[in-house]
Amino acid sequence: MAEVLVLVEHADGEPKKVTGELLTLARTLGEPSAVFAGAPGTYAKAKPYLAEFGAAKVYVVESDDVAGYVGAPVAEVLAKLVGEASPTAVLIAATADSREVAARTAAKTESGLIWDATAVSPELVATQGIFGGSTIVNSKVTKGTPVIVVRPNSTAPVAAPSTPAEAQVDITISDVAKGAKIVDRVAEAKSGRPDLTEAQVVVSGGRGLGAAEHFTLVEKLADTLGAAVGASRAATDAGWYPHQNQVGQTGKTVSPQLYIAVGISGAIQHRAGMQTSKTIVAINKDPEAPIFEFADYGLVGDLFNVVPQLTDEVEKRKG
């Protein structure tokens, strides 16, 4: 069976949930080979997780040359492996850092790239949203080794314990690839809430909230549901919520089981970042708001009445 390369998404060796999702998906396409690229000494933390989710093989590069620079060194690693292992496909998570790696890998290997896939069939037909997520198409790469960028939360991670073979990748990262050095990493303030891009439930607030302090309504509902908090660009541009919580074309892409939009009109740029959520609930006082055209459930009403009631009701039902 041909290999399917999966780029391991991790923070200092701690794998992100999306890695389990990609390995689960890879198992349906071929033999999953994880590619771990990180700083020296970080692989040991990822190893048990990769075995738990069924990696048949792990390619390991532990070097400051891959961990200390933006995107390009990891793309060099993947391009080398594509040349040597001739995989059926390369799966990469749709996260800010890895998107860059994907684009560079596709360019280096002269291969087709599919963006924002939410499903991939065994025939490597990928389902993706285009035109800001307003249209869903099925696409297949016809040139080179398909590089497929997959949205987090598209596949439920299923464990399938394995004993992966390990191969150290012998590579010297080029000087060109070391053009953009990471000089500092600033940890986001800990909110205790799940990571926005990986959360099963997201509650987002928009301009309809009217002021920064009204985001507490959104936060309370989110905390009752164990959700992450998102925001529209209108809200982040107004300084009501941090930019790293922005959902949309120029913000983060989310794909939770449940997305609740509070006081958000549903502009195409916002939709681009949340369209593939499994169930979308919109709370808006304007019955003509565009968000009702693609929401699964619409609540027409004043958010200042609706959201506290909804929060109380969820709290009651939790018992």
Residue 249 assigned as binding residue: yes
Residue 251 in contact with ligand FAD, rule: CB under 6 A = yes
* Residue (27 or 214) nearer to ligand FAD, CB: 214
Residue 207 assigned as binding residue: yes
Contact in structure between 254 and 277 (CB atoms under 8 Å): yes
- Residue 75's nearest CA partner among 174, 166, 163, 185 is 174
* Tokens, residue 39: 């700083």
Residue 244 assigned as binding residue: no
Query: Helix/strand/coil (H, E, C) string of 241-266?
Result: CCHHHEECCCCECCCCCEEEEECCCC
Distance from C-alpha of 263 to C-alpha of 252, rounded to nearest angstrom: 18
Smallest distance, Å, CB 293 to ligand FAD? 12
Give the one residue of 57, 99, 108, 270 binding ligand FAD; rule: CB under 6 A: 270
Residue 317 assigned as binding residue: no
For ligand FAD, how many residues bind (rule: CB under 6 A)? Answer: 28
* Residue (286 or 293) nearer to ligand FAD, CB: 286
- Each as own residue / partner, the long-range contacts of residues 95-104 (CB below 8 Å, 24 or more positions apart, any chain) are 95/9, 95/16, 95/18, 95/152, 95/197, 96/252, 97/70, 97/71, 98/7, 98/9, 98/149, 99/149, 100/70, 100/71, 100/75, 101/7, 101/71, 101/74, 101/75, 102/147, 102/149, 104/71, 104/72, 104/75
Give the one residue of 234, 254, 295, 310 binding ligand FAD; rule: CB under 6 A: 234
Smallest distance, Å, CB 106 to ligand FAD? 24
* Tokens, residue 68: 């200390």
Residue 235 in contact with ligand FAD, rule: CB under 6 A = yes
Q: Which stretch binds ligand FAD (CB under 6 A): 56-64, 68-76, 183-191, 300-308?
A: 300-308
C-beta nearest to ligand FAD: residue: 248
Residue 99 in contact with ligand FAD, rule: CB under 6 A = no
Contact in structure between 106 and 112 (CB atoms under 8 Å): yes
Q: What is the dihedral of CA 239, 242, 243, 247, to 10 degrees?
A: -110
Give the one residue of 45, 80, 193, 285 binding ligand FAD; rule: CB under 6 A: 285
Name the DSSP letter for residue 4: E
Strands 279-284 and 297-300: parallel
Give the one residue of 68, 267, 294, 315 binding ligand FAD; rule: CB under 6 A: 267
Smallest distance, Å, CB 308 to ligand FAD? 12
Smallest distance, Å, CB 250 to ligand FAD? 4
Give the one residue of 89, 199, 289, 310 binding ligand FAD; rule: CB under 6 A: 289
Residue 250 assigned as binding residue: yes
Give the one residue of 264, 280, 281, 295 binding ligand FAD; rule: CB under 6 A: 264
* Residue (128 or 232) nearer to ligand FAD, CB: 232
Q: 136 to each of 58, 133, 253, how far by Cα in Å?
A: 33, 7, 16
Contact in structure between 38 and 62 (CB atoms under 8 Å): yes
Residue positions forming the annotated binding site for FAD:
207, 232-233, 246-250, 263-270, 284
Residue positions forming the annotated binding site:
207, 232-233, 246-250, 263-270, 284
The residue ranges that bind ligand FAD (CB under 6 A) are: 206-208, 232-235, 246-251, 263-265, 267, 269-270, 273, 283-286, 289, 302-304
